Structure 1
């Protein structure tokens, strides 16, 4: 997943309302006055689709909008490209007020700024795979030779090289969705809208498509708005998550915030069955870096250790993390040897873990070592540490079957 540009949102949704019915403007005032969706329906026959939605989506971000059926998530995403017009509110994309676009400007906006991937693939059965992929370019007026060349490149990218002349009916569901993804990417639109794009797929194929989306995003850095009803999917791919219920925005934030700090009982019901060890990375729960021993000789290491409140430290050289050295080991060294370099014989072989590793993957190393594990980034630099007590706290209120007995017993003692 990508790191979003935090300076300025690419998409801003401000005070958005959508009420379905003939007198929506009149009913809007009742919604703003605080009447519930159920009351509005009973009294007026109007349906509140969305009520006072405010979102900021940043460039290069995978922003997941989720909720149960009827929550308003698909209604919301169709406002981004004005397939649905709001009853009230603003839709700002790249600084432009989408509501002020005339018909021609809106047509160009849809062709060039946003692409959409649908739940049921949305492929044209009478067109070949390459014709489906290049359709958006055809609409844009790109010559046939150029659009087919670009289409074939995207076909290779999504793993369907050789399928150009097949028809959608000859492909599996997973292959059809890859074609849909390639078609959306082929226009080089900055924003990708994905409405339940993987929900019609079998679980294994769905997981493969999630992997492919994450892999593509690391290269392409698109801004992706992804609709789903599945929290596991949202946690896996999302940089940010917004949860809707009955047209209301209940909570939004980073996946770890949603998982560890649910805003209410509705969100808590979503997260309670999530296996945190498989959903959270080390980085999301690690503690700050403790005593860092960066000296070249033992004497300086002793001085650094004395300034620390801990009885051990992580030894770091120009080559990165080397291991753990304890206060007891340093105290056992004769002062006459203080000018000597720190050798491997003085170190305890405590492994480091990658900051982007899932908690599940570090449990074995955690249980095999007395000391907390150093957390390193992709450059090998120590960023923090993770301890048994931290892991125990994070997993303590998980259902018992999600942590094995072998894992749970040592954690309880920590």
Structure 2
């Protein structure tokens, strides 16, 4: 079920909106429209659905339109044309056409926002900053402070409740901003580059904490970022924008594997594939493995082979004729405790990072099983192929695959 549904949305800033929309329909570019009338196209013909409980990351370079689209969701930016629907219980509210009372209700009850610059009020304590939105809702002092303290405990700042913003580090201030948004108990969070002003180590830590909190709270999050590694790490889906348009929208792995054009390909080429690619996308299929009589060869150099039955189940393994132990690895198991010199079988959804750690620990390729049947392996060749950026193909018509 969609929490946010956007159809053919245009956002134009200026006093000649209708004239600019006509120029857009004629195929004029953003720069041509600026030159002709001075208006700025923030978003052009955007269509996207954000499901309940997902983190959708709006990604792009500065000026691509991602913040303009985000701010249209709670009515901070004008909707010039198209439809922007936000769920409110069983109904969908059109943000572009609703009255002021409805818009105020959506902003105070359904949608919360976390800003890049923290936006904390310096004259209020940490606790009162978190409780501020609840005060605006008319909640009593004792109740709102109790709820604010609960959210501060959730982000690990309950011991700082009586401090002021200037007494906190940047990362701690951003946690206060998160706690304030969570305290509103809104179903939808809008996050406009909330971690970009922080040091890399703090940024990574807050990304991890956001993922952990999302697993517990299951909010719908629309998150703006210019950092694709961040987008790949936290996003359920990613929408990449260029020149006010959404040019590709999909799961992180799909975008890394199949960039739609050269613009997206350039982004993907500089990302860390360890954070997004799965074994299924990297593996060498069983049918591609060399056969030696009734054995499948994993490593010709040391004659490491496996045997499978008619159902594709691995029943034995050997190296230079001597038996090798087999181990079924499950998500959550400690890789550092795996026995060395062991062949490990894992799910095809294993992450590239985990697979490389297993390969390093055991000294052997990783076997991938689906429904108790071997479907492929991950060897050094597959890992090098991914790390060198050879794992994706560009699907844009007329462009050769990579």
Is 2:386 the partner of 1:394? yes
Give CA deviations for 1:150-197 in whole Å, capped at 9, x if unaligned.
111110110112111101111100000000000000011000000000
Answer whether contact 1:352 1:376 (CA < 8 A) is retained: no
Q: Which residue of 2 aligns with 1:61?
A: 54
Is 2:36 the partner of 1:73? no
Is 2:149 the partner of 1:155? no
Q: Which residue of 2 aligns with 1:168?
A: 165
Shift of 1:272: 0.9
Shift of 1:376: 8.0
Shift of 1:305: 4.7
Give CA deviations for 1:242-293 in whole Å, capped at 9, x if unaligned.
0111101111111111111111111111111112134424365457899xxx
Shift of 1:28: 0.2
Mapped partners of 2:93, 2:248: distance in 1: 26
Mapped partners of 2:199, 2:349: distance in 1: 27
Give CA deviations for 1:97-135 in whole Å, capped at 9, x if unaligned.
222321111101100000100000011000000000011
Q: Which residue of 2 aligns with 1:145?
A: 142
Bigger Cα displacement from structure 2, 192-201 vs 253-262: 253-262
Q: How does 1:231-380 map to 2 (within 5 A)?
A: 231-282=228-279, 285=282, 305=308, 307-308=310-311, 313-314=313-314, 324=316, 349-353=342-346, 357-366=350-359, 368=362, 372-374=366-368
TM-score of the pair, normalised by structure 2 = 0.79
Give CA deviations for 1:37-82 in whole Å, capped at 9, x if unaligned.
1111112222111110001100100000011111111110011011
Mapped partners of 2:116, 2:52: distance in 1: 24
Mapped partners of 1:289, 1:281: distance in 2: 17
Answer whether contact 2:120 2:177 (CA < 8 A) is retained: yes
Taking structure 1 as reference, are residues 305 and 357 closer, same or farther at Cα in structure 2, changes over 3 Å only? closer
Q: Which residue of 1 aligns with 2:199?
A: 202
Structure richer in helix, relative to its length: 1
Is 2:10 the partner of 1:17? yes
The structure with the larger Rg is: 1
1:125 is paired with a residue of what secondary structure? Answer: coil
**Structure 2: where are the runs of 5+ without partners?**
288-306, 322-340, 392-402
TM-score of the pair, normalised by structure 1 = 0.77
2:37 to 37, 41, 44: 44
Mapped partners of 2:390, 2:365: distance in 1: 24
1:351 is paired with a residue of what secondary structure? Answer: strand
Shift of 1:34: 0.9
2:162 is paired with a residue of what secondary structure? Answer: coil
Mapped partners of 1:133, 1:270: distance in 2: 36
Q: Which residue of 2 aligns with 1:218?
A: 215
Taking structure 1 as reference, are residues 100 and 264 closer, same or farther at Cα in structure 2, changes over 3 Å only? same
Q: Which residue of 2 aligns with 1:100?
A: 97
Mapped partners of 2:236, 2:201: distance in 1: 22
Mapped partners of 1:185, 1:384: distance in 2: 43
Shift of 1:392: 4.4
**Structure 1: where are the runs of 5+ without partners?**
1-7, 291-303, 316-323, 330-347, 400-414
Mapped partners of 1:46, 1:251: distance in 2: 26
Number of residues of Structure 1 aligned to a counterpart in Structure 2: 346
Shift of 1:147: 0.8
After superposition, the CA RMSD in angstroms is: 2.7
Answer whether contact 1:158 1:178 (CA < 8 A) is retained: yes
Q: Which residue of 2 aligns with 1:30?
A: 23
Mapped partners of 1:175, 1:239: distance in 2: 25
Q: Which residue of 2 aligns with 1:134?
A: 131
1:34 is paired with a residue of what secondary structure? Answer: coil
Mapped partners of 2:383, 2:353: distance in 1: 10
